Structure 1
Amino acid sequence: MEKFLSLFGQKILRFFKGTGSLALLCKSIILSIPMAVKRRHLVVEQMVFMGVNSLPLVIFTSVFTGAVSAVQAAYQFQGYVPLRYLGTAVGKAVVIELGPVLTALVVAGRVGAAVAAELGTMKVTEQIDALETMALDPVEFLVMPRYLAGLVMLPILTIFSDFVAILGGLAVSVWFVNITSYTFLNGLKAFFELQDLFAGLLKACIFGSIIAIIGCYQGFITEGGAEGVGSSTTKAVVLSSVLILVSDYMIAHLLFG
């Protein structure tokens, strides 16, 4: 019993220590944002890495996301709901939920892991300590550009994802469900609300911030050489994915609950 309580207490202390360190990192990021103009080349470089280089994977995923949404909705509608509402169902599901969430999970797997591995390697090889020795702020050089890139590029990726997913749903609806493109698009347009797009993009902004912050944080606390880098990479992806899903619920509850 005593051993259990000791382990439990250590877990609790580690949790609060990690939460405090993460809060301090967020504070440092916010304070370093005014330097973004001076470090704009670093920001643009990270935007290309996080956004442009992730686009093919996001598009590939989105095509099948929209296709599956259309097939599943058509199956559920049989005998109950007219198929003219198929476009409505696909559009709502993609714009509000599937587009931002699946895009964030894909980017978390690709970018979050890469960020944690890169910064973790820099930490264990003492490159971050070298920056501090030269009186250079590691947050300004390494974290802030990645944070801004995630904040800006994930909504842009989400817009591409929404568009491609709806096209995928349209193609499946026309080829396999046997409704016309006019019927699908008319259903999509009839119930489209700007609030839905706003909610999806707000989610994307928050998800992008989570991916960048968690990836950088895990990289900064890496210890133990190559094994530690691997552990930090895994933790970055898992923790980012969990926080994305938790924050997705919280945002949905605030906006639509």
Structure 2
Amino acid sequence: MSAETPPALKPLVPLGGFFAMALDAVQAAFRRPFQWREAVLQAWFVVRVSLVPTVLVMLGFMLLVIFQVNLLLTDLGALDLSGGIAGIAAIQQIGPFVTVVVIAGAGGTAICADLGARTVREEIAAMEVLGIDPVQRLVVPRVLAMVVVGQVLNVIICAGGLVGGYFFSVYLQGATPGAFLDSIPLFTGIPELIVSQIKALVFSVIAALIACYRGLTVSGGSKGVGDAVNQAVVITITVLVPVSLTITLVQFAVL
């Protein structure tokens, strides 16, 4: 007769299950055969549903930040530093966070709903009966797809943020083109770009694992699937904020 989990520890049970699945995913990633076809299909799906929303959200955030900061720089007589501010905003903070929040909201919800529907239909249980590891077959390709898409989109968004900041600052707020470009390396360089890619990598892994875990632990039929999708997005955003802050603090301490 198994001992019942104490009430005080019950909130930790899902956390333990999540880390157990994450560890299984790491181990399964190095086992053969790898589901390359599934990974490519999932990556293409995430790109289709995430690219346009990510670009639009990023441009909105960038224009808002650049507009406000440029007003302050104009009052201080330092508008020529707007390029450096655009670099900080696009590469170090807004780029990776917005990228992963959008792909988690678009691709992550679809992944959670797909795995949740499979769980409700008992397809996952049938796979286990047949000796097929659901983590290796379903989770690992989806995590890899989210990671690859997150890395590519982050580069696109960072570049697009700088271009959008350039046109907004130069053509709408009167910044000097040469000074805008010259100020970018003063605040942002290769180390900051590497940290930005690391952030996108960590964020993508977290978002993908949370979506997969909630999908595989669905209960309660179709209503449970809908609840799991909503919870996956909320949990992902809640977790990403302290993770982003931690990485930023480590970056400032090291660099």
Q: Distance in 1 between matches of 2:79 and 2:127?
A: 60
Q: Distance in 2 between matches of 1:218 and 1:115?
A: 10
2:133 aligned with 1:129: no
Q: Deviations over 1:199-256 (max 9, x none)?
A: 1111100000011000000011100011101110011000011111110011111111
- Give the one of 149, 153, 158 matched to 1:153: 149
TM-score under structure 1 normalisation? 0.91
TM-score under structure 2 normalisation? 0.92
Are the equivalent residues in 2 in contact too, given 1:36–1:145 (CA < 8 A)? Answer: no
Q: Deviations over 1:90-110 (max 9, x none)?
A: 111210000001111111111
- After the TM superposition, which residues 30-69 of structure 1 pair with which residues of structure 2 at under 5 Å, given as runs? 30-35=26-31, 38-69=34-65
Q: Which residue of 2 is the match for residue 205 of structure 1?
A: 201
Shift of 1:127: 1.0
- Give the one of 228, 249, 256 matched to 2:252: 256
Note the residue ranges of structure 2 that are not aligned, 5 or more in a row: none
Shift of 1:173: 0.9
- After the TM superposition, which residues 160-179 of structure 1 pair with which residues of structure 2 at under 5 Å, given as runs? 160-179=156-175
With over 3 angstroms needed to count, the CA separation of the structure-2 counterparts of 1:12 and 1:152, relative to structure 1, is: farther
With over 3 angstroms needed to count, the CA separation of the structure-2 counterparts of 1:156 and 1:11, relative to structure 1, is: farther
Shift of 1:13: 2.1
- After the TM superposition, which residues 1-257 of structure 1 pair with which residues of structure 2 at under 5 Å, given as runs? 12-35=8-31, 38-257=34-253
Give aligned pairs, total.
249
Shift of 1:36: 6.5
Q: Deviations over 1:67-120 (max 9, x none)?
A: 222211111213225111000011112100000011111111111211111111
SS across alignment from 2:75 = coil
Amino acid at match of 1:158: N
Are the equivalent residues in 1 in contact too, given 2:49–2:107 (CA < 8 A)? Answer: no
Q: Distance in 1 between matches of 2:189 and 2:157?
A: 18
Shift of 1:189: 3.3
Shift of 1:52: 4.8
SS across alignment from 2:185 = helix
Amino acid at match of 2:224: G
Q: Distance in 2 between matches of 1:151 and 1:32?
A: 16
With over 3 angstroms needed to count, the CA separation of the structure-2 counterparts of 1:165 and 1:246, relative to structure 1, is: same
Q: Distance in 2 between matches of 1:12 and 1:75?
A: 51
Are the equivalent residues in 1 in contact too, given 2:85–2:187 (CA < 8 A)? Answer: no
Give the aligned CA root-mean-square deviation in angstroms. 1.7
Note the residue ranges of structure 1 that are not aligned, 5 or more in a row: 1-8
SS across alignment from 1:87 = helix
Shift of 1:122: 0.7
SS across alignment from 1:78 = helix
Q: Distance in 1 between matches of 2:207 and 2:178?
A: 38
Amino acid at match of 1:196: E
Q: Distance in 1 between matches of 2:119 and 2:231?
A: 16
Q: Distance in 1 between matches of 2:95 and 2:81?
A: 19
What is the percentage of aligned positions where both structures have the same residue? 27
Shift of 1:38: 3.1
